[in-house]
Amino acid sequence: MRKKVIAGNWKMNMLPNEAISMITELTPLVKDTGNEVVLCVPYTDLFYSLLTAQGSNIKIGAQNMHYEEKGAYTGEISGKMLKSIGVEYVIIGHSERRQYFNETDETVNKKIKTAFENNLKPIVCVGETLEEREAGIAYEIIENQTQKALEGLTEEQVANTIIAYEPIWAIGTGKTATSEDANEACKKIREKIAKMYGQNVGERVIIQYGGSMKPENAKELLEMSDIDGGLIGGASLKAESFAKIVNYNS
Ligand code: 13P
């Protein structure tokens, strides 16, 4: 049985005082869940968030990192730096980074490898645009992104990678994929991984859905056979709404 991983992605929101308040409020609300609870916060919130979440079941993640360990990369943060302060998760290849910051399948692949070298758990985003969906090539796109992201990883590393299926047209738009469509896409990703790395790895890998997930639709999505969690943007900014998603099954 795969554990559900409910992860918030705050994107470029929340000042440190807001992060501290949110996590303080969230802590008692999610303390009894059996689901994994993660908040991926801006770099400037990481340290405050880690301190505030100490002793709770809330894990802290970053939203990006560089693949090099150190060097002349002005403005970048390395996996080693994240690990050094106690970060456990890192989002890699979010569609916003692919779209606005030149993230490619190749840099995504390098970053995943570096994440594992530093004992960080990668949450790797894949997803199609509306045009690609309408052209009937959504599965081809996400299978291809998945294959390129995972190239050169060991079976064990693939089994420990979290894939977030985030159809781009559903992000921040209020449009959610139907639970059947979201499940079908997650299933296709799982089948692709099973074909490449074996049935056992396919069964173990955690595949999240992301894109306008909120308290009202979380239960239906999270109860689907191949959706093992959520990557939540807008609804993760408030403790109450995020907690409702985390507690969808309690
Ligand atoms: P929203 O939940 O705001 O649609 O964002 C989804 C997302 O991009 C999470 O990474």
- Reading the chain (250 residues) residue by residue, the pLDDT tens digits are 899 999 999 999 999 999 999 999 999 999 999 999 999 999 999 999 999 999 999 999 999 999 999 999 999 999 999 999 999 999 999 999 999 999 999 999 999 999 999 999 999 999 999 999 999 999 999 999 999 999 999 999 999 999 999 999 998 888 888 999 999 999 999 999 999 999 999 999 999 999 999 999 999 999 999 999 999 999 999 999 999 999 999 9
Q: Which residues contact 102 (CB under 8 A, 6 or more apart)?
A: none
CB of residue 9 inside a 6 A radius of ligand 1? yes
Specify whether 94 is catalytic.
Answer: yes
CA-nearest residue, atom 7 of ligand 1: 233
Q: What is the CATH number of the domain that holds 207?
A: 3.20.20.70
Distance 132 CA to ligand 1 centre (A): 19
Q: Using a cut of 0.95, tell me whether the model's pTM lies above it.
A: yes
Nearest to 145 by CA among 163, 160, 126, 169: 126
CB of residue 167 inside a 6 A radius of ligand 1? no
Specify whether 66 is catalytic.
Answer: no
Distance 210 CA to ligand 1 centre (A): 6
Work out the number of other CB atoms within 10 angstroms of the CB of residue 41: 29
CB of residue 229 inside a 6 A radius of ligand 1? no
Distance 163 CA to ligand 1 centre (A): 14
**Domain residue limits at 118:** 5-246
Q: Total structural domains in the chain?
A: 1
CB of residue 230 inside a 6 A radius of ligand 1? no
Q: Whole-angstrom Cα distance, residue 41 to residue 147? A: 27
